Amino acid sequence: MANPKISVLGGTGDEGYGLALRWAKHGYEVIIGSRDLEKAKAAAARIQSTAGPSSRVSGLVNPDAASKADVVVVTVPFAALYDTIKTIKPSLRPGQIVVNVTVPLETAVGGSATRTIELWDGSAGELASRLMPKDVSLVSAFNNVSAEALNDLSRDVDCDVLICGGNIDAKRTVMDLARAIPGVRGVDAGPIENSRTIEQLTALLVSLNIRHSVKSAGLRITGMQPKN
């Protein structure tokens, strides 16, 4: 998919904002999605101010943001994932790509960010896949990328992005989105079921950040050349 229009649901939060900022800086048209229209517009204005006057960024409520994009990126907290999908589902159309970034951290139930919740589906990616229309391609990606690193345009993001899903073309599109972020490499990590392992790694990275007093721990896969 050449030059897709991207909506980032949860784009007012740190992770979604950082992804939207990087993609707007690269030249993609980006729509910030939120439950609150004014918050979405305010985040879009800040991103446009930072990314430059030629950037194309707007803010809409989640269903409208989802309906106008080729790629819908879901970055909401896990506690909001079910309701967000339920809200946008009628707005999705055949052929769209939905990227799940959400991780089931225990903070959703008042626990620790260094642990995850055990889900019946196995992972947040698999839960999202089950809830989505069957004619939409669900991909899980960007689960392990530091929000701190994404939001700092003065440096590259030193991290690989592990991409899971069943549709090869959708994964290739998401790999292009990964490569658009300086320092990032997209790695095809197999079927959506592998989200179970990848989401667990997010909790590990949070623990490493705390233990080593840093904010941008990431992953690099060595010893292989990822396929395009």
- What is d(CA 25, CA 220) in angstroms, rounded to the nearest whole number? 24
Q: Which of 88, 100, 64, 114 is nearest to 195 (CA)?
A: 100
pLDDT of residue 185: 94
Q: Which residue type sits at 171?
A: K
Tokens at 120, concatenated: 């019946």
Q: What angle do CA 177, 208, 144 make, to 5 degrees?
A: 15
Tokens at 228, concatenated: 């395009």
The number of beta carbons lying within 10 Å of the beta carbon of residue 159 is: 23
- What is d(CA 104, CA 125) in angstroms, rounded to the nearest whole number? 9
The one-digit pLDDT tens for each residue of the chain (228 residues) are: 678 999 999 999 999 999 999 999 999 999 999 999 999 999 999 999 999 989 999 999 999 999 999 999 999 999 999 999 999 999 999 999 999 999 998 888 888 888 888 888 999 999 999 999 999 999 999 999 999 999 999 999 999 999 999 999 999 999 999 999 999 999 999 999 999 999 999 999 999 999 999 999 999 999 987 565
**What domains appear along the chain, each with residue ranges and CATH number?**
6-211 (3.40.50.720)
Cα–Cα separations (whole angstroms), residue 199 to 53, 69, 224: 36, 25, 22
pLDDT of residue 105: 85
* Bridge partners, 61 (sequence order): 34
pLDDT of residue 108: 85
Q: Are 200 and 103 in contact (CB under 8 A)?
A: no
Tokens at 91, concatenated: 């707005």
pLDDT of residue 228: 55
pLDDT of residue 225: 72
HSE-CB at 124 with a 13 A cutoff on CA atoms is: 31
Q: Does the predicted TM-score (pTM) go above 0.85?
A: yes
